[in-house]
Structure 1
């Protein structure tokens, strides 16, 4: 008894003096997974190895049965050292005069993986002691988990999960019998048996495993024969590389975390990355694309394309443009009007005058340098007019506007740090990110309630914040839903899916950034197109460059739910009225500051023709078939809508446009007349002559 107590005490002292060396099992590669647990991107361990944590529950049960049958049939019965195997190995060695078979158990192999040593008798004794120590502290499944994590598979692959991903492109819980047999065989001689370098040796080793485990009853003979017919991989697969920017950011935020599960939809992510890669070729060599898709339910980021090509250095591919600070152009205007609706400063049917105005020392101009005169607020937002938006922001207050966005989690970056927000923020004189804009537009889809975006599956949802009142959010969404689609595209509700898509575009100064952000009941999608270095672009606009990508992206998300197939009803208390039915205070917008520019007199007098001018002579050149080119007709001022007539005949034009195209049927004198909604008219006589005639 005293001897047993002494032995136990000695073992306990040695265990305390020499604790288990588990640090190597903790030096893992990180892997970022999609919402379904499939790999998106992996990051090597600090020592340059691919080494992923693997538990027994993560691996196909047939693999575990094969491994135990081939390596250590009494694994679940011995205490870490197998006396029967040890006696057999010694007897065989004595009889043959050389080592015939080993006596290493899986536990002893695990000890050797944790603490590699030269193959000597002393090292073997230490392995045996460590094996007993492992069995003392850990369960059989925990010991197997360490083996499954550290076993060598050739090159810089360690662990069954790394081997399964790089040789078969799948998780180890999906292994076939043939694949399991190959992975059982490889750790015995990982470099010699590497299938990417020694195919026949690898195949022979696999078949040996199949035959032996079939002989032990761990696999049927028929299954073993069938497995032996499967091909052996001849090359390693590349590391998974989807959503690389998002994965990189999440890994950098938690560098010690071995597994990060995201909300990304793998198939959607791949489809959008392919779309961006195909589309970016339409632009110049230094342009790039970013796309962000958020499920409105819980604000889950289900796709995040940071650039059209991570490794494309010309396009600054490694930069995640979903988080780059850029000018939003007109993309913030919906929220300016939303606050105006909430404060009852204006209503979608309110008349606003689009004319030259000075707001103190600030005199904005419309993007196209044309003034529309009297126009409804809804139309001003759909046409993205600058002066009405600035007039509403002047009444709302730039500081209050910026503070409301900050409460919703979007801090506007001003050109000068510490400066106060001012009116130019209405036209893009501020910095935001694509993630910021998607956060804001997702709030419009959710009745005005803002929530932070969630990249990780385990990320808390965050506290909801009211960006806009439900009525104001509904009014803005209804206006954006009626915005005409990009050229050559049908409205969402007219497509096969029937989605009702509300969207807004934006173009920053110098055409640096083209934006399109849209939403329906299910998803909010944001698209950015531009040059990552912020340099000028050649006339690229949000409607032409980004909006088609937005609609194409909506075509790739899952089919719409019932709520996305019909516009939502207005919330209780929403004022639904025509312009004539509005209360007097809402019929017309009354700017706080109304300093007229020199052009105002002409505008207040009704419509004014700018092309053609009265008495003009226009030279035209016939086409090869003898036809004449169209003649543009342009107007300033007047109350929309306008009616165009040439030689007394109406000319078709889009509603609320201040220009039309007339197709002449011959040369000579012509007369154009434009009549506005108040009946005010302007006319001009002009003459068409042949070029050079």
Structure 2
């Protein structure tokens, strides 16, 4: 007896040591990780990536699941869950008796703990496998509490296909989180893990209904639910959405997943409802563009630069349009979209105001001689008109005065991403698209127009810090915004009839490779890109035609107040005079020198005078002091004063910039503004340009003789020097070397013919032409 008693004392320690050794040798497998979820603002799943075991498993806590589901699950699957040690002997005996009585397997006797153990360590359906499951169950109960085991079940139970866990099943089958399950839906999901392939509601709704109804009636027979409650649940039809993962902002989601491969949930600022609208809008819009065209759209909230909408490509996954390429981040030529920042910097430097006189004229004798998009010239234009019409020559004039290096460094310091030779060796071509940047970076810097001149990077996630960098002063930002917001070219269809508070700018890269449109309202900044991801041209597709209409439609989707940005105290409004560019009250604008008035926005009460075409180049002043013989109204040089008998006076005469002469009214040209020179004084002959067009008299009315299709006029120039450049109504004419031009006219109308020689001297005449077959 004593020996047996001693042996018994060793059994318990031996079992403990043996269990410890088995536990160390065969550790409990760790639960499979969850799927990676990219979440919209508010928690909706934008896109999910499968868990490591290639299932859709969305992590969920026990308190995030509808209580009715847990009630049904415990009542139907394991009523003694909180009382047994993982294995319920009574349930096993009962299941064995039921199987023996019916001659078939009707119950397995498995507890929820045993099912979880089988999920963590799948076992073969043999006696050895059952023993292994039992041991794993005891091991599971040792390491986890009952609530933790229940949570493991909620996250790992199979629900058909690649669905794992009640949260993924609820979202995929019913389109809602598990916290909002109805009685009938909860009953179906409670029984579905028993036979997930056979009872899937999306494939076999009839079988699924039978299984669900069995569970509901069981709840009544157990006395858990009333007959009325069960009857109401039985009437609910079985319907399910196809188990497809969500796919909102797929390229943004891919980008975030790559930035944090170990993260399981990545929240974003994206508005799921707006994102759906954007993707639908882009899908319908690109249907007319062609199969190889792509589109990118970015919508950012100005207050915190939060990205609320992100469309990286027109058709995600489409091979022809390279839908896998995220065009919000692709480096492309920005075309004219950098122009507003040249105007903003020029305002801050005191170079211009909103209605400064700029020159849209040829740049003779200069190395960089770009052309406008239309190929023609407009002569003198206001700064606001130049920006709204996206004219190239005036903005190059501004960059010349700013200095290309200062312009590029200002953009870089504000956070704009720039690539290319134009960054390493800045020149004026940068402002016309001679560098590379991305839509995302452009949108970030455009927010400066609505944020008092402070630019910054856009933010996809709340965890990203908000950093701002000064690009321009609040006053310069407001004037730049105002110049773009009151664009007379804004009306496209019905859009132009609504209240307007969107400042917008388009751009087209060289060769029609990229079409851009960027818009800024007080609350939003919107960026649109249209083109081919491979960089090949799209002839005829330019910003205003291809990108601006989509920009306006996106703007209509957004909630926005119709109020304008508040005007800073540093901005005031005054009347200014051309050609000098100064305020009307300035002494030099008295008498006849205020030839044209504009109501301009001034920064810090400063009205800068008109800029010369090129800085640091000796050019005559626009304000001439001329001694005039009052009697003859002729100009007199100081050295000729003694030859004049009558009284003299000194007049200040405002002249237009010399390159603008061909586009001026005849009475505004130098030949008319400056008095004739006294015969006795030859020292002032330089006041008048000697160039003159011969062949048509100014004011002529020409008619086409009957029977002829066109009229050819032989023209000559007298007094010119160097090469000539001819313009008809501001458009350049092709000419050959020499001082002759064969002008061909075929359409009736009024014409202005201008010529400019290498020294900048000009002459211009106006005439009319009428075909004989038009009557009159």
TM range (shorter): 0.7 to 0.9
- 1:592 corresponding residue in structure 2: 615
Q: Is the 8 A contact 1:327 1:430 kept in 2?
A: yes
- 1:524 corresponding residue in structure 2: 525
CA shift, 1:528, in A, is: 1.3
- 1:114 corresponding residue in structure 2: 120
1:634-682 superposed Cα distances (whole Å, 9 cap, x missing partner): 7339xxxxxxxxxxxxxxxxxxxxxxxxxxxxx999766899xxxx994
- 1:641 corresponding residue in structure 2: none
- 1:81 corresponding residue in structure 2: 87
Q: Does 1:571 align with 2:568?
A: yes
Task: Describe how 1:113-262 pairs up with structure 2 within 5 A.
Answer: 113-233=119-239, 236-262=242-268
Task: Describe how 1:249-398 pairs up with structure 2 within 5 A.
Answer: 249-357=255-363, 361-398=367-404
- 1:447 corresponding residue in structure 2: 452
Number of equivalences: 634
CA shift, 1:536, in A, is: 1.9
Task: Find the aligned partners of 1:320 and 1:328 in 2 and give their Cα distance.
Answer: 16
Q: Secondary structure at the match of 2:608?
A: helix
Task: Describe how 1:616-627 pairs up with structure 2 within 5 A.
Answer: none
Q: Is the 8 A contact 1:507 1:515 kept in 2?
A: yes
Task: Find the aligned partners of 1:487 and 1:108 in 2 and give their Cα distance.
Answer: 69
Aligned in 2, Cα 1:540/1:483: closer, same or farther, shift over 3 Å? same
- 1:421 corresponding residue in structure 2: 426
CA shift, 1:224, in A, is: 1.9
Q: Is the 8 A contact 1:107 1:131 kept in 2?
A: yes
Aligned mate of 1:461, from 465, 487, 502: 465
CA shift, 1:452, in A, is: 1.9
Q: Is the 8 A contact 1:619 1:690 kept in 2?
A: no
Aligned in 2, Cα 1:537/1:302: closer, same or farther, shift over 3 Å? same
1:495-532 superposed Cα distances (whole Å, 9 cap, x missing partner): 2xx45111111111122221111111111111112222
Q: Does 1:484 align with 2:567?
A: no
- 1:500 corresponding residue in structure 2: 501
TM-score by length of 1: 0.83
CA shift, 1:171, in A, is: 2.1
Of 397-406 and 244-253, deviating more is 397-406
1:96-133 superposed Cα distances (whole Å, 9 cap, x missing partner): 89866433211111011000011233333332333233
- 2:28 corresponding residue in structure 1: 20
TM-score by length of 2: 0.75
CA shift, 1:83, in A, is: 4.1
Q: Secondary structure at the match of 1:465?
A: strand
Task: Find the aligned partners of 1:333 and 1:619 in 2 and give their Cα distance.
Answer: 48
Of 282-291 and 440-449, deviating more is 282-291
CA shift, 1:343, in A, is: 1.9
CA shift, 1:620, in A, is: 13
Q: Does 1:604 align with 2:661?
A: yes
CA shift, 1:207, in A, is: 1.0
CA shift, 1:303, in A, is: 0.8
- 2:436 corresponding residue in structure 1: 431
Task: Find the aligned partners of 2:360 and 2:764 in 1 and give their Cα distance.
Answer: 19
Aligned in 2, Cα 1:398/1:358: closer, same or farther, shift over 3 Å? farther
Aligned in 2, Cα 1:339/1:235: closer, same or farther, shift over 3 Å? closer
Task: Find the aligned partners of 2:346 and 2:473 in 1 and give their Cα distance.
Answer: 11
Task: Find the aligned partners of 1:332 and 1:189 in 2 and give their Cα distance.
Answer: 62
CA shift, 1:556, in A, is: 0.6
Q: Is the 8 A contact 1:514 1:528 kept in 2?
A: yes
- 1:687 corresponding residue in structure 2: 770
Q: Is the 8 A contact 2:161 2:197 kept in 1?
A: yes
Q: Is the 8 A contact 1:613 1:686 kept in 2?
A: no
Q: Secondary structure at the match of 1:315?
A: coil
Aligned in 2, Cα 1:420/1:671: closer, same or farther, shift over 3 Å? closer
Q: Secondary structure at the match of 1:587?
A: coil
Q: Is the 8 A contact 2:174 2:241 kept in 1?
A: no
1:433-461 superposed Cα distances (whole Å, 9 cap, x missing partner): 111111111121111112321112x3223
Aligned in 2, Cα 1:375/1:54: closer, same or farther, shift over 3 Å? same
- 1:628 corresponding residue in structure 2: none
1:461-501 superposed Cα distances (whole Å, 9 cap, x missing partner): 33221122212111111111111243434677x52xx4511
1:324-381 superposed Cα distances (whole Å, 9 cap, x missing partner): 2211111000111111112222222322222222695211222222222222222211
Q: Is the 8 A contact 1:358 1:364 kept in 2?
A: no
